[in-house]
Chains A and B, each alone.
Chain A
Amino acid sequence: EDQVTQSPEALRLQEGESSSLNCSYTVSGLRGLFWYRQDPGKGPEFLFTLYSAGEEKEKERLKATLTKKESFLHITAPKPEDSATYLCAVQAAGNTGKLIFGQGTTLQVKP
């Protein structure tokens, strides 16, 4: 069964304190691993897609990496505006395009 597990559930950081979020997955044929950001009362907003082990993508203070079993979202020198819930999802082989989501990590960055 395809499954995605994110850790930790919640993370509190001081502004400028770098850290990483983890996404572990099991999937039959990975088409892609997706990271989303979700603000309270809003829908998820797309951040990155990773396709193969060893791939990395960056956007401002965020960098996503991928191995055969997990992905990391590294946050460098975070700011309060980075506070949000970060969702990881996998897309399995097949023709549906559907995503299987983890439960998310809620990040709070204090000034």
Chain B
Amino acid sequence: NAGVTQTPKFRVLKTGQSMTLLCAQDMNHEYMYWYRQDPGMGLRLIHYSVGEGTTAKGEVPDGYNVSRLKKQNFLLGLESAAPSQTSVYFCASSKGLGRVDHNSPLHFGNGTRLTVT
């Protein structure tokens, strides 16, 4: 059982280049999330999806776009990379919301380390 798989693991971009980060989960989870993690800032939510074909903005969405064409995949795109987007990006998934006292935790991938020069 692979869980949440992120590709690539590492990437170096030049300012202005574009790329797509791929996230795949094999747990049939409804909800998926993209976070970025920076020193001293903790994990911050970029975009999320509560089901196939849906997306919504999180806390820091500017400069990113996402797509959820298939339930198992959640793509994060950078159209024109900037040095401020140097970070570690984590994808996560969950079953979604059940009873208020029985929530499904988020399951995380191992991250993509992106450097923009």
Contact = CB atoms under 8 A, between A and B. Distances in A.
B114 interface: no
Contacts, number: 69
Contact of B50 (A32, A45, A52, A96): A96
Contacts of A83: none
A52 B90 CA distance: 28
A102 B92 CA distance: 17
Contact of B109 (A43, A51, A99): A43
B12 interface: no
Contacts of B92: 43
Given A97-B94, A104-B42, A49 B50 contact: no
B4 A43 contact: yes
B41 A103 contact: yes
Given A101-B42, A103-B41, A95 B50 contact: yes
A99 B106 contact: yes
A97 B96 CA distance: 6
Interface in B77-109: 90, 92, 94, 96-97, 100-101, 103-109
Contacts of A36: 108
B108 A49 contact: no
A25 interface: no
Contacts of B35: 101
A43 B111 contact: yes
Nearest to B113: A41
Contact of A46 (B48, B50, B107): B107
Interface of A: 4, 31-32, 34, 36, 41-46, 49, 51-52, 87, 89, 91, 95-104
Interface pairs A-B: 8 shortest CB-CB: A43-B108, A101-B43, A103-B42, A46-B105, A101-B42, A32-B103, A51-B101, A43-B110
